[in-house]
Amino acid sequence: MQTRFPPELLADPRHAAAEAIVRKCVHCGLCTATCPTYVTLGNELDSPRGRIYLIKDMLENGRAADSRTMLHLDRCLTCLACTTTCPSGVDYARLIDLARQHVERTGRRPLADRALRGLLAVVLPYPRRFRTALRLSAPFRFLASILTRNKVLRPIGAMLALAPASVPANTRVAGTARPSGEVRARVALMAGCAQSVLDPAINAATVRLLNRLGVEVVHAAGEGCCGALVQHMGRETSAQAFAAANVRAWMAADRERPLDAVIVTASGCGTTVKDYGHLLADRPDLANDARRIASLAADITEFLARLDLPAARNPMNVSVTYHAACSLQHGQKVTLQPKALLAKAGFTVKEPREPHLCCGSAGVYNILQSEIAGALKARKARNLEAARGEVIAAGNIGCLTQIRSGTDLPVLHTVQLLDWAYGGPAPEGLPARFRVT
């Protein structure tokens, strides 16, 4: 794509980076077919190509973000399906980050929108605050459908609709979980923020499974949210602060005794941690360590695939429909390992139609853009149910929460099923008929 950025703007490294990305786009439009918002809304400005035009126009002319540009950029899920499809290698992920930072710096949002975004940024990334907020909101869940009818109050209704009826007890652990026998690897396990509150059973299953496989698991003191939640709202400084805290925490464990991996069980977070080298590139004190952590980061299924697990001796007699989280398939390009591991563990693996399309979760998207997210959830649930698996598996807490609110089928993390297959307890979310083995 031809660009006309004036030299004074190109002197800014952000503009220069954005210009280099925009120039790679040959406006072929192939990405439009796999973009969930274009497929849903049918508007070119809600496609990757349309958004690239809007970003180019905004940055090239050095102007503040207007309401039209904000509307269409806000509607982007950051699902990165376009990056999988694009034949020209356009780095849309980096471009939308740069654009969102510009929007955050220059755009004027309505007061209610600003207040909501501010609230999400100071509550969701902090497990204690998030748990308290969920507990306080539980009695008001019945208001969800009423509030979603009002345009201003719709995000509050969406939050209430997603809130669980009861909040699991705080089981956050510290220290190191050691295997009983020989240690074959040492890893740090990311506890993160929202997942540790909404579904602590996921990391509990991970620790059990890794320990049984001879892997020592470190829970590093001081780690927390990966920074993705605020990064996707254009709050770069805040995202860098979260990333810096995590890098320091995991590097302390690495210096004590080298780590073989930093394991992440929420793929949305994994995508961000793998990008820490870039996020902290401007921090001379942390850039090297950030690159080391990014190179160690691995989705749990990536790491388990490296361990070469034994094939199951008996079938599990459960068919599993695998939902590929966008952050795992498009963000990290981890596509085969989860399905191969489930099959090797004895499950019958089924694939839904349109596996490339987002479920609509996308961090806080299902709160801020609940109508589009609702349409995508319904489409995803239909496709998953049509695959006729008895259980749905996915590798990201956002997807699990979103899909659970759209289907009656049990929806579990892939690692919970693997833990069960390799000798752990049957997951809590399974109906009783599966739990008798």
Q: How far apart are alpha carbons 249 and 53 in whole angstroms? A: 40
Of 9, 10, 30, 245, the one binding ligand SF4 (CB under 6 A) is 30
Of the candidate spans 10-18, 31-39, 148-156, 176-184, the one that interacts with ligand SF4 by CB under 6 A turns out to be: 31-39
Task: Please tell me whether residue 79 binds ligand SF4 under the rule CB under 6 A.
Answer: yes
170's tokens: 């705080």
- Other residues' Cβ atoms within 10 Å of the Cβ of residue 416: 28
Residue pair 268/327 in contact by the 8 Å Cβ criterion: yes
Task: Please tell me whether residue 35 binds ligand SF4 under the rule CB under 6 A.
Answer: yes
Q: How many residues bind ligand SF4 (CB under 6 A)?
A: 25
Q: How far apart are alpha carbons 79 and 264 in whole angstroms? A: 18
Min dist. Cβ of residue 335 to ligand SF4 (A): 16
Task: Please tell me whether residue 271 binds ligand SF4 under the rule CB under 6 A.
Answer: no
Task: Please tell me whether residue 117 binds ligand SF4 under the rule CB under 6 A.
Answer: no
Q: Which is nearer to ligand SF4, 82 or 163 (CB)?
A: 82
Q: How far apart are alpha carbons 37 and 27 in whole angstroms? A: 18
Min dist. Cβ of residue 397 to ligand SF4 (A): 19
Of the candidate spans 5-13, 77-85, 161-169, 254-262, the one that interacts with ligand SF4 by CB under 6 A turns out to be: 77-85
Min dist. Cβ of residue 330 to ligand SF4 (A): 8
Of 21, 59, 77, 244, the one binding ligand SF4 (CB under 6 A) is 77
Match 């506890």 to its residue by tokens: 191
Strand segments, DSSP code E, in 105-253 are 175-177, 185-189, 215-219
Binding pattern for the stretch 38-57 against ligand SF4, x by CB under 6 A and - elsewhere: ----------xx-x------
List the interface residues with ligand SF4, window 366-425 (CB under 6 A): none
Residue 160's contacts (CB-CB under 8 Å, 6 or more residues apart) are 137, 140, 141, 143, 144, 147
Q: How far apart are alpha carbons 306 and 333 in whole angstroms? A: 16
Min dist. Cβ of residue 326 to ligand SF4 (A): 7
Of 58, 90, 197, 318, the one binding ligand SF4 (CB under 6 A) is 90
Q: Which is nearer to ligand SF4, 82 or 207 (CB)?
A: 82
Residue 396's contacts (CB-CB under 8 Å, 6 or more residues apart) are 266, 267, 268, 325, 327, 328, 361
Residue 28's contacts (CB-CB under 8 Å, 6 or more residues apart) are 87, 88
Residue pair 384/352 in contact by the 8 Å Cβ criterion: yes
Residue 42's contacts (CB-CB under 8 Å, 6 or more residues apart) are none
Q: Which is nearer to ligand SF4, 58 or 147 (CB)?
A: 58
Tell which residue, 315, 311, 331, has the closest CA to residue 395: 331
Task: Please tell me whether residue 231 binds ligand SF4 under the rule CB under 6 A.
Answer: no
Of 6, 29, 310, 315, the one binding ligand SF4 (CB under 6 A) is 29
Q: How far apart are alpha carbons 350 and 321 in whole angstroms? A: 4
Task: Please tell me whether residue 70 binds ligand SF4 under the rule CB under 6 A.
Answer: no
Task: Please tell me whether residue 82 binds ligand SF4 under the rule CB under 6 A.
Answer: yes
Min dist. Cβ of residue 376 to ligand SF4 (A): 10
Of 6, 11, 16, 28, the one binding ligand SF4 (CB under 6 A) is 28
Task: Please tell me whether residue 80 binds ligand SF4 under the rule CB under 6 A.
Answer: yes
Task: Please tell me whether residue 205 binds ligand SF4 under the rule CB under 6 A.
Answer: no
Residue pair 160/143 in contact by the 8 Å Cβ criterion: yes
Min dist. Cβ of residue 36 to ligand SF4 (A): 5
Which letter, b or e, does each residue of 204-240 get, where b requires 16 or more Cβ atoms within 10 Å of its Cβ? bbbbbbbbebebbbbbbeebbbbbbbbbbbbbbebbb
List the interface residues with ligand SF4, window 158-197 (CB under 6 A): none
Q: Which residues are near ligand SF4 by CB under 6 A?
A: 25-31, 35-37, 48-49, 51, 76-82, 85-86, 88, 90, 92
